[in-house]
């Protein structure tokens, strides 16, 4: 029974993957680095995972997962959902503005200290390289963090 279930899940995954690749570059996935003020006392450096799904009218819906560390005793985790609007009418590329909402979870000395709601604004520029790759510098402001500046490298599916 377990073998049948695994094969069914694998089959569904492959079918969904083929459907994704058959579309015209609607999904993007990026990895990046960020310099931010997530810590209460110091600046922090972070890693970012980002994924977007392109909607009509130059909109995109997606999520971002960021983790930051202030190089002493503070770690923050930010799972975020986003709504993005591209300003140029160039196939979901160019300048964009974004609204973010999610959670801000931080740990001090290895213990969960606080769980807070997060809201922010992000702006940046997506530049495409070749047929499937992009670089995306961005800046963001919001609560409870102060700011973030980063860059993503990604692939378009």
> What are the tens digits of pLDDT across the range 9-50?
555 454 455 444 445 789 999 999 999 998 877 899 999 999
Residues 6 or more apart from 106 whose CB is under 8 A from it? Answer: 38, 74, 75, 76, 77, 112, 113, 114
Judged against a pLDDT cut of 50, whether residue 115 lies above it is answered with yes
| Domain architecture of the chain: domains with CATH | 24-156 (2.40.160.20)
Residues 6 or more apart from 143 whose CB is under 8 A from it? Answer: 118, 119, 120
Instruction: Read off the pLDDT of each residue in 56-82 and give the average, rounded to a whole number.
Output: 95
- What is the token pair recorded at 123? 């702006």
pLDDT, position 89: 83
Neighbours of 20 (CB within 10 A): 12
Could you tell me the pLDDT band of residue 1, with boundaries at 50, 70 and 90?
very low
Judged against a pLDDT cut of 70, whether residue 71 lies above it is answered with yes
CA-to-CA distance for 131 and 101, rounded, in angstroms? Answer: 31
**Under 8 Å between Cβ of 28 and 52:** yes
CA-to-CA distance for 150 and 34, rounded, in angstroms? Answer: 4
CA-to-CA distance for 33 and 29, rounded, in angstroms? Answer: 14
Q: Tokens 């029974």 — which residue?
A: 1
In three-state secondary structure terms, 4 is helix
């Amino acid at each position: 029974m377990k073998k049948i279930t695994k094969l069914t899940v694998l089959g569904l995954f492959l079918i969904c993957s083929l459907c994704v690749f058959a579309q015209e570059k609607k999904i993007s996935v990026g990895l990046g680095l960020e310099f931010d003020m997530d810590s209460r006392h110091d600046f922090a450096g972070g890693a970012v995972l980002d994924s977007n799904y392109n909607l009509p009218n130059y909109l995109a819906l997606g999520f971002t997962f960021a983790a930051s560390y202030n190089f002493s005793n503070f770690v923050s985790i930010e799972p975020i959902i986003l709504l993005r609007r591209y300003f140029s009418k160039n196939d979901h590329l160019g300048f964009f503005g974004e609204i973010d909402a999610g959670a801000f979870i931080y740990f001090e000395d290895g213990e969960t200290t606080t769980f807070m709601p997060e809201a922010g604004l992000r702006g940046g520029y997506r530049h495409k390289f070749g047929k499937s790759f992009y670089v995306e510098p961005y800046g963001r402001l919001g609560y409870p963090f102060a700011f973030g500046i980063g860059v993503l490298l990604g692939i378009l599916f």
